[in-house]
């Protein structure tokens, strides 16, 4: 049986830019929320958008570190809860921006072979590094979609989804 070859579709740099495009769009969505709705408003029992954003923040840098090192101990599903939880849009955006910087600095540390190595991330998700990062990107897109629903229900036109 022949060993399956790994095909390169996009480079690591292109993948980072793809993800950062999504992050720029999510940031614009955060900016579009009225401050009084960002932390409290929900539809159909879904969590408020700021809570969803904190989930995205809570897994972003830990996913990059995990792919780069195999250390999956830093994810906190309750990131930003309690005393550390941002309570203003400005504070949430500052944390979002810091996370973006952390992603960029840790991305440079990922060795090429780590993209294909299979890990059990946080004792929950098993797959190669690229798959785990796609999971995080998909999670962001999913929750951003919820934010679009919230904004539209408030009568606010959200940013165009294709302008990343």
Domain that holds residue 143: 12-153
User: Does residue 159 sit within a domain?
Assistant: no
Residue 55 lies in a domain: yes
Where residue 69 falls among pLDDT bands split at 50, 70, 90?
A: very high
Task: Answer yes or no: is pLDDT of 75 > 90.
Answer: no
- Tell me if 144 is assigned to some domain: yes
Q: Does residue 2 form part of some domain?
A: no
Domain-embedded: residue 135: yes
CATH of the domain at 48: 1.20.120.450
pLDDT of 81 > 80? The answer is: no
Contact 55, 79 (CB under 8 A): yes
Q: Is residue 1 part of a domain?
A: no
**Which has more confidence, 17 or 77?**
17
pLDDT for residue 88 is more than 90: yes
DSSP string, 88-136: SHHHHHHHHHHHHHHHHHHHTT--GGGGT-EEEETTTEEEEHHHHHHHH
24: helix, strand or coil: helix
When divided into structural domains, the chain yields a total of 1
Q: Tell me, what's the pLDDT at 5?
A: 61
Asked whether residue 19 is domain-assigned, the answer is: yes
Q: Is residue 75, in this structure, part of any structural domain at all? A: yes
């Amino acid at each position: 049986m022949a060993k399956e070859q790994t095909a390169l579709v996009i480079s690591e740099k292109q993948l980072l830019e793809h993800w950062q495009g999504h992050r720029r769009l999510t940031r614009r969505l955060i900016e579009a929320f009225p401050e009084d709705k960002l932390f409290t408003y929900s539809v159909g029992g879904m969590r408020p958008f700021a809570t969803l954003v904190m989930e995205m923040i809570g897994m972003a840098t830990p996913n990059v570190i995990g792919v780069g090192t195999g250390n999956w101990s830093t994810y906190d599903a309750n990131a930003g809860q309690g005393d550390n939880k941002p309570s203003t849009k400005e504070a949430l955006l500052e944390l979002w921006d810091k996370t973006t910087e952390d992603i960029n600095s840790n991305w440079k540390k990922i060795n090429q072979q780590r993209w294909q190595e299979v890990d059990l991330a946080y004792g929950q998700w098993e797959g190669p590094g690229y798959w785990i990062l796609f999971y995080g990107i998909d999670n962001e897109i999913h929750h951003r979609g919820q934010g679009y629903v919230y904004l539209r229900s408030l009568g606010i036109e959200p940013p165009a989804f294709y302008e990343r």
